[in-house]
């Protein structure tokens, strides 16, 4: 069934424009509460990032939940994966995150975790949508919910993160720059690394409600690169606004993306004698990642872009490791969802255990050159429905052979076709990508 409100990652939009308005958040809290209350004595934890609008949406959500008879724990500013963990830790019926991830401050969103700390099941979302279309009412004044502010939420999550790091190792002697994007990790992440012994240089840890993700964090690694070089640090770690994405920088200032991070974690697991089974990437994962994973003797599969699809592919195969080049890394042997701090700790454990630098560890993956062109189109359409485009793709694939690939993908958020070509020769793939983009433009533009 098609959804009216929920997208692939909750409900998101521009603050002040429906559905990111107080009256909708109130109704959403009530509708979710009605669905959860049907299962018995329901409780929900709510966390948020540092956006100014988070206060408004938090108040509306908690009011709606209480009206439906659900008890609420307010966690305050917390990373998205922290909410997933604390949902399980408190045996809550669900967790709610108020965040628009790596988007600017004027956007916001609301997403849900189930009691297992994973994304809410589709049928539950559909039930919530069904209640959203019903008139809001309070059936029993004696069964209204209560709200509690969970003062120790931050400390609980810090200890959980530290527990994912080998107990016999520490980070003493490492100087790390941590860029928190003025977002949800600004208090937690520096504390985790410091308590494990690292010398931490914290940057972009002064949120004002409007500077989240502004020219910093995982989407703007230039800030981290400069800080690593200025401070002569061993490495740098950048998070996005809600703390589920990570990008790293080695001591030379070079960016280490999600594909490389996954390869390093997979190799470390293998050296520890842990059978990960295989690794899930996405259709946008670099071919060098696929080659590196297969060279380890592991299986590799590609999912559609989006953590929901990566999680689904992992669950289907019973595997534990996957993610995206953008830095959304899932380590299911450590936690239930993508967690940037825990992913960082797995890489740092490999650095300490191997006594190698991040730059040396990343050598295990040789990136293939990639060329990406966004082609604007008049309206959403499938380019592979046009014979001229299909013929051009087949011709390109024949030229590239087994050491290259072509991907045409419609954007999920804007009228754009993403044309991506990957191969071993930069000049060749640039030429092929431009030719394909021209064919798409003629067919759909």
CA 276 to chain centre: 21
If 0-12 CB within 10 Å is exposed, 13-18 middle and 19+ buried, where does residue 261 land?
Answer: buried
Q: How far apart are CA 187 and CA 201, in angstroms?
A: 13
Strand 370-376 versus strand 416-422 pairing type: antiparallel
Nearest residue to 417 (alpha-carbon basis) of 376, 445, 370: 376
Please state, in angstroms and rounded to a whole number, the distance separating the CA atoms of residues 97 and 78: 9
Q: How far apart are CA 192 and CA 374, in angstroms?
A: 39
Query: By the 8 A CB rule, do 239 and 246 touch?
Result: yes
Measured CA to CA in angstroms, residue 229 lies from 211, 258, 286, 332 at distances of 23, 21, 27, 33
Question: Tokens 């703390």 — which residue?
Answer: 243
- Are 279 and 247 in contact, with CB atoms under 8 Å apart? no
DSSP code per residue over 409-423: EE-SSSSEEEEEEE-
Tokens of 6: 């929920």
- String of DSSP letters for 291-340: HHHHHTT-EEEEE-SSHHHHHHHHHHHT--EEE-TTS-EEETTT-SSB-H
Q: Could you say which of 43, 93, 101, 218 is catalytic?
A: 101
Is residue 43 part of the annotated active site? The answer reads no
Known catalytic residues are: 101
């Amino acid at each position: 069934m098609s959804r009216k409100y929920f997208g692939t990652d909750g409900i998101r939009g521009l603050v002040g424009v429906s559905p990111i308005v107080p009256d909708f958040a109130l109704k959403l809290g009530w509708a979710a509460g009605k669905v959860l209350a049907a299962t018995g004595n329901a409780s929900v934890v709510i966390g948020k990032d540092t956006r100014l609008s988070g206060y408004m949406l938090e108040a509306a959500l908690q009011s709606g939940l209480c009206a439906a008879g659900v008890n609420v724990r307010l966690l305050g500013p917390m990373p998205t994966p922290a909410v997933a963990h604390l949902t399980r830790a408190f045996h809550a019926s669900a967790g709610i995150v108020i965040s628009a991830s790596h988007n600017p401050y004027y956007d916001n969103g609301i997403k849900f975790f189930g009691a297992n700390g994973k994304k809410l099941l589709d049928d539950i979302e559909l039930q919530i949508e069904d209640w959203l279309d019903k008139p809001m009412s309070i059936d029993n004044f004696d069964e209204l919910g209560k709200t509690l502010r969970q003062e120790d939420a931050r400390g609980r999550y810090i200890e959980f993160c530290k527990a994912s790091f080998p107990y016999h190792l520490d980070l003493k002697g490492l100087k790390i720059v941590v860029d928190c994007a003025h977002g949800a990790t600004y208090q937690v992440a520096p504390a985790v690394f410091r308590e494990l012994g690292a010398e931490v240089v914290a940057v972009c840890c002064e949120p004002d409600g409007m500077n989240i993700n502004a020219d910093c964090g995982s989407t703007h690694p230039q800030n981290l690169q400069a800080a690593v070089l200025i401070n002569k640090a061993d490495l740098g770690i950048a998070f996005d606004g809600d703390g589920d994405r990570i990008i790293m920088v080695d001591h030379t200032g070079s960016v280490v993306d999600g594909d490389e991070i996954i390869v390093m974690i997979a190799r470390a697991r293998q050296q520890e004698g842990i059978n990960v089974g295989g690794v899930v990437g996405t259709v946008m994962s670099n071919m060098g990642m696929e080659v590196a994973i297969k060279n380890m003797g592991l299986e590799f599969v590609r999912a559609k872009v989006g953590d929901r699809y990566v999680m689904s592919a992992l669950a289907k195969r019973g595997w534990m490791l996957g993610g995206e080049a953008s830095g959304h890394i899932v380590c299911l042997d450590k936690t239930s969802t993508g967690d940037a701090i825990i992913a960082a700790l797995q890489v740092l454990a490999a650095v300490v255990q191997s006594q190698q630098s991040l730059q040396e560890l990343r050598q295990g993956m040789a990136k293939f050159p990639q060329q990406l062109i966004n082609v604007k189109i008049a309206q959403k359409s499938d380019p592979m429905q046009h014979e001229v485009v299909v013929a051009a793709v087949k011709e390109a694939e024949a030229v590239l052979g087994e050491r290259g690939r072509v991907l045409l993908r419609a954007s999920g958020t804007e009228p754009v076709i993403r044309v991506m070509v990957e191969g071993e020769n930069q000049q060749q793939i640039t030429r092929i990508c431009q030719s394909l983009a021209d064919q798409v433009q003629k067919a759909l533009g």
